[in-house]
Structure 1
Amino acid sequence: MKDTSLREDGENMTNQYPWRSNTTPPIASQDDPRYETPGGAQHKIDTHVSVTGNIADRAVTQPKIAIGAVGANQIDPALLPHYGDIATNAKFEVIDEQLADIVTLTPSGGDDTTAWNTAVNSVANGGRIELTQGDYYITDGVLKSNVIINARGKVRILSDGNIFNVNSGSADVNGNITNVSISYITFEAITKVFSEHLHLVSLSGVSDITFMRCGFIGFRGDGVYLGSGAAGEERHNEGIYFQECVFDGVSKQNRNGISIIDGDGVYIDRCVFRNCTRPNMPGAIDIEPNEYVWAIIKNIHVSKCKFKNIGGNTGVINMFIPLSQSDLITPVENITIEDNAIDTTTDTQSAFAFRQHQTSIIDGSSLDLNIKVINNKAKDIASRPFSITGIKNLTLSKNEFINTKNGAITGYLATTDSCMFIKLEANTFKKCGTDDGKGLSIHSVEKVDILRNIFDDCGTSGGYGIDFNNGTSSGVRIIGCDFVSPTGRMSVAIQKEATHTFTASSNIDQQNKFNGLTNAFAANLKDPVILYAVNTYDTTKLPDSFALGSESSLVNGDTNLPSTIKQGALITTVTTLTVGFRKFITQWFYPANNDAATLADMYFRKGNTSTNDWSTWQKVTAVVTGTSAPTTGTWTLGNRVNNLTPTRMKNISHWVCITAGTPGIWMAHGTGWGTTAERPTLSSGDSGYSYFDTTLAKMIAWNGSAWIV
């Protein structure tokens, strides 16, 4: 069923405050089943209210509840299990203390800022503010530590300035405003006219702040700005939680849904972002510290969020770090983006963008960022699936990108845009690069793994799955990828531009399915390839002209062959394409021999390391076995036959051909011993055999026809 909260026509939901119980039926039926529905959460709250009401109405709690306070129905449900006797009394003592500071506000119809600030200051040591149903008008409202702020009914806080403008006044996080919970409240701009630095909520120097099922509507600048104070001030934010909130820019005349200028531990979970960001602004979530060495960006987690109709010019989720890791006092680390859905961007907006400004090329000594982008879906993207520049250690895994106008980018034009330790694993790129013609562009990179990805119909007509563009790459492993083009729009699986330089010796190309598409990737380690070609090359072909693998060719009449026989087979094997290792390129020549009873000699040579030519041929003499010297067949000088049946008396180890011919002249090698009566019977092929005659006590020899004593 269609989710009216994300309607294609851009209209709002029937009720833009989905946390109210009267919206439960449509929301529960329309929301993605992977996420808890607003109605589902409301049911849990109502259950807690029912339980707490029964307990809190007991006399033991009543004396502590102020007259007119909302009272026990909002007690922390964690305090409410039923206990007996002493345990019960101990528990209610905590409840009593919790209820001691409860302030209820009612909208005045005018400016409520003074009433708000008075209420917050009155519970500054810890307490609760209950807002009854209605519209409040607050500008530059204060927040203090240990405050719980809840809505009773449909509550909006409106302003054309900052509703909350909080600054701890200290660079020390121990001085932060801490432990504030805000639930079920809508923050909304009145005019909704763009003003870049007017945010609905501005927080600098806060810790452990939770927004639960809040709405941020029509913001002029940001919905929420997690800042570091005014220009030049140092403030740090820790432990900020957004749970099931809605950020609706309404007219897209705003900056970002959430800006993270400084944050350690920012968790954005099951939120909805829609209709936000002007064409010249970043995106729905912008992680972008100011250019100060003390800025902190770490432990950011965005999960199970929905993004719809997002404008801008960087990424729906964008990260730009203006200083290198070595320049920062606290390096950036641990950014996780998982299980999110992005549907439709406008202007020149990409799905994801990650960039860190570098003053030198990233190398092994550079500090990792540890960015993980896992199991996200993005479709109908006005620009790229993602861009990654100046980043070390980023993983994109199990993501699905469908219908993007431009291809993804890793590395870029400047040498300092190079990337290192990038893993693209089990992603799907479907119809990516419909304008620029490529699914993925790779520029200057080192140690990039492209594993088990699918490139499906990427590019335009004649498009590329992967395009190695301006720059130099090394340590690129493309393994187990599938390049398919059912419509025929993608004709090249992997393209190499003239402006790109491969380091083939460090690259791997294995187990990929190119399905007839062109592969221009240069890698020394490839799948084994055997090419059987008849009469396509001869001995004049030089080592560097052969491809990786083995090639065979039948030759006849090649005058450069080493044998007197000028007919046979050439087998050339290339195990590496590195120029400095031509010595591992071998070529064998097997002369033709029409006599099946004998084995002809073989010859081999190797490539020269320093020059693109061959070494001299080396002969490998044939070795066979038998029980006597050959009496048939054609044999060449040096051929050898090993004896299978030597004895003490006839202890011949082998025979060697000393004159080529049919069968040629043979000499026996070996020495036996025994009596005169035990002398063995020998043939002409056993010439040269020695025998120690024990009867005569002397060595004798066989000359081919008689014993020489």
Structure 2
Amino acid sequence: MKQAKRLIGMMIVLVCIIWLPSFQIAFADAVEVNVTDYGALGDDAIDDTVAIQNAIDHVNANGGGTVFVPSGTYLVSNLKLYSNMELKGTGWNSILKQNGGVYVVSVNPGAEGVGNTKSNIQIKDIQLMDRSGEGAAFSEHQHILNINAATDVLVDRVKVTGFLGDGIYIGSSNVGGVEVHNERITVRNSYIDGVTKDNRNGISIIDCDGCTVEYNHFTRTTRPNMPGAVDLEPDHDYSIIKNITIRNNTFDDIGGNVGMISVVLGIAQNNMIVPSENIVIENNRGENLTVNSRAITALQRNSGEPLVANGIIIRNNTVSNSLTGGVGLFGVKGVTVENNYFSNLEMPNYIGYDGSPTWDVNYVNNVFHNTGKGSGEGLNIFSTERLLLDGNRFENVGKVNGTQGFAINFIAKENAAPGEGSHLKLKNNTFISFGRTTYAIKNSGYLFTDPTTNEFTNNTFINVSGNDFQYSVPEPTAAQTSLTGVSSAAVGQEFTVNYGLNGVAGAVYAQDIKLDYDSNVMEFVSARSLIEGVALVETVKEPAGKLRLIVASQGSEHAITGNGQIIELTFKAKNVPQTTAGLISITSAALGDVEGNELQAASASISVNITAGGSSGGSIGDINQDGIVSVGDLALIAAHYGKDSSSPDWQQAKKADVNGDGKIDILDLAAVAKKIVE
């Protein structure tokens, strides 16, 4: 009977282990040790490496568990972690500081081969520090956290600061030619600060299948001849870069020769043992990027069209107020760039460049607002095959002084040989100028190799002309719908979008308009007619996210002809945790004429960026950026209570405006108080 009970108990333990959630330490009798019990002092004076490593070794010898690091500054070098282990502090006041080693902490030094893969490791609530802020010189291969040949590793709520090489290196073996791989590595909710901008990258990903980088804040990283904050760059033909997700991060004051995120596939896709693919870059926000390049770059070395598409998705990102451009694509195949917001940038976006053409690129529903302030272009297109530009808005693109503004520039290579391409489709794009855009679509040395394969339909030009695009079929003259309005709105702010018709050849007396809008980021408030004698007869606003408007003219003298704005739609921006693009689209517009005939007008859409307020750090409400939301953050709000955007010290006070509504009031206090007690 006792044996039966023991067997049942073992089965229960086994089932519990099997069903443990991801990243949970999976053993029954996990130990927990305090590094001070092994002699660590944390006084920023005496080296604590031996004491802390002894604590780590003790946990490893007992099958795994937690190594706890109390508050203090512990001088260490080359600490080595093992499988089934958690390294945990009290927060960013628990500091492991570099004291002369090659790295501070390593999940696997990388010299032990694939047979020594480490797994199931967590590093949480701690600060890992090197000495770039204390005069230490750049050292390309001296990293703070070193991860090699590891699976199921979680880095959560960690501050990585003052690195000389990389903040976090997710690599391969340190021994040349020794093949090792990483799987399922996650870095989240962390703060990565290079301090001097004289280092390599915030995170380098050399080899990983299933890497997630999310909800982190990157600042002050990268010298000019290194990529940037996050760099994906396989070193060998056996290196694996696939199933990578980089989302919901913020980037501020980043240098490097790229900026925010670089995908540098330096070995031709056709020569990789495992092709590099399935890379998602979404919902990230960057500003104050200080390099004259592109904030997000995907580069693939090739000697012809890759056999396997890269499958890269770049969506819902915001890049603003920077010396960079938005996105650069070189030599890649199978890329979608959609719903991104580019604002107040010095440089253009690039598609293809010199000897690196692109294939199968889709640019959909992006907004270019005041871009090309220094260069004069919004989007430069070199050699490319099978390109779709659909639903993009080019708003006031060009130099600040108004001397040159090309929204789209089909351009020659640097050696003056023409860029070239075919199967190019430009559809439903809007070009609008308030004085900077001098020519909408310019040909500056491009060769349209087969214009019969190109399409140009339903594009709208407002206050700007000029179109050198070559295509075979003239643009149809059928009526087109339009949506015009603001390109961004703050959380809690009401904003308007106007619905209209362009190119009405006859007379329209009745309209049945159906719209979709992103109800996750905005809510519908109201609609009204902009034209006397044109009535908004019925408005159907259920379910959320969909609208139906029935419009009718009140007599023949009020029929709709030509071009004009007809209905004003008012929306309100919802409270979002970070800047998010929301799309409003006309899905159907049926028009009725004097004889009762019906025709469909071409659809239109507009993207509105909902800009969130609050701290740009790793967690909303963490105003003092100490890694937690606490009474200290509440005190900062209380100190600035009552101030608004008109206050003389608003630049200093606005960090306390948590909900981003331009004032500091009880709503901000309540939001942080709620976070404290969660």
Please indicate the TM-score interval, normalised by the length of the shorter structure: 0.5 to 0.7
Q: Does 1:112 align with 2:53?
A: no
Sort the Cα spacing of 1:87 and 1:99 in 2 relative to 1 into closer, same or farther, 3 A: closer
Deviation, 1:204, is: 1.4
Deviation, 1:449, is: 0.5
1:424 counterpart residue number: 363
1:265 counterpart residue number: 210
2:346 counterpart residue number: 405
CA distance in 1, matches of 2:446, 2:27: 71
2:237 counterpart residue number: 293
Trace 1:596-635 onto structure 2 (pairs within 5 A): none
Contact between 2:131 and 2:164, CA under 8 Å: does it hold in 1?
Answer: no
SS of residue paired to 1:185: strand
SS of residue paired to 2:54: helix
Structure 1 runs of 4+ aligned residues shifted over 4 Å read 94-100, 168-171
Query: CA-to-partner distance for each residue in 1:318-362, whole Å, 9 max, x for gaps?
Result: 011111121010000111011111011113342101101012x21
2:406 counterpart residue number: 464
Trace 1:575-594 onto structure 2 (pairs within 5 A): none
Deviation, 1:462, is: 3.3
1:135 counterpart residue number: 73
CA distance in 2, matches of 1:100, 1:453: 55
Q: Does 1:435 align with 2:335?
A: no
CA distance in 1, matches of 2:161, 2:404: 45
Sort the Cα spacing of 1:436 and 1:100 in 2 relative to 1 into closer, same or farther, 3 A: closer
Q: Does 1:234 align with 2:209?
A: no
Give aligned pairs, total: 436
SS of residue paired to 1:385: strand
CA distance in 2, matches of 1:526, 1:186: 62
SS of residue paired to 1:119: helix
CA distance in 2, matches of 1:368, 1:378: 26
1:293 aligned partner, one-letter code: D
Q: Does 1:217 align with 2:161?
A: yes
TM-score, with normalisation over the residues of structure 2? Answer: 0.62
CA distance in 1, matches of 2:168, 2:185: 11
Trace 1:380-395 onto structure 2 (pairs within 5 A): 380-395=321-336
CA distance in 1, matches of 2:74, 2:404: 59
Contact between 1:384 and 1:408, CA under 8 Å: does it hold in 2?
Answer: yes
Q: Does 1:252 align with 2:197?
A: yes
Name the structure, 1 or 2, with higher relative contact order (CA <8 Å, separation 6+). 2
Sort the Cα spacing of 1:263 and 1:87 in 2 relative to 1 into closer, same or farther, 3 A: closer
Q: Does 1:521 align with 2:469?
A: yes
Deviation, 1:135, is: 1.1
Deviation, 1:99, is: 4.9
2:436 counterpart residue number: 489
Sort the Cα spacing of 1:503 and 1:196 in 2 relative to 1 into closer, same or farther, 3 A: same
CA distance in 2, matches of 1:343, 1:452: 24
Q: Does 1:157 align with 2:87?
A: no
Deviation, 1:411, is: 0.6
CA distance in 2, matches of 1:183, 1:305: 18
Contact between 2:147 and 2:171, CA under 8 Å: does it hold in 1?
Answer: yes
CA distance in 2, matches of 1:257, 1:353: 16
Sort the Cα spacing of 1:440 and 1:526 in 2 relative to 1 into closer, same or farther, 3 A: same
Deviation, 1:167, is: 2.8
Query: CA-to-partner distance for each residue in 1:237-267, whole Å, 9 max, x for gaps?
Result: 1111111000011121211100011111110
Contact between 2:269 and 2:301, CA under 8 Å: does it hold in 1?
Answer: no
SS of residue paired to 2:461: coil
CA distance in 1, matches of 2:386, 2:449: 12
2:509 counterpart residue number: none
1:101 counterpart residue number: 31
- Larger fraction in strand: 2
2:455 aligned partner, one-letter code: I
Q: Does 1:508 align with 2:455?
A: yes
CA distance in 2, matches of 1:87, 1:202: 36
CA distance in 2, matches of 1:485, 1:513: 12
2:305 counterpart residue number: 362
CA distance in 1, matches of 2:35, 2:179: 34
Query: CA-to-partner distance for each residue in 1:552-597, whole Å, 9 max, x for gaps?
Result: xxxxxxxxxxxxxxxxxxxxxxxxxxxxxxxxxxxxxxxxxxxxxx
Residue number among 299, 306, 321 corresponding to 2:250 in the alignment: 306
Contact between 1:246 and 1:273, CA under 8 Å: does it hold in 2?
Answer: yes
Deviation, 1:315, is: 3.3
Structure 2 unaligned spans of 5+: 1-10, 413-418, 479-678
CA distance in 2, matches of 1:132, 1:400: 43
> What's the % identity of the aligned pairs?
31
2:405 aligned partner, one-letter code: G
1:475 counterpart residue number: 423
1:442 aligned partner, one-letter code: I
Residue number among 64, 69, 91 corresponding to 1:126 in the alignment: 64
Residue number among 444, 448, 458 corresponding to 2:387 in the alignment: 448
Contact between 2:68 and 2:88, CA under 8 Å: does it hold in 1?
Answer: yes
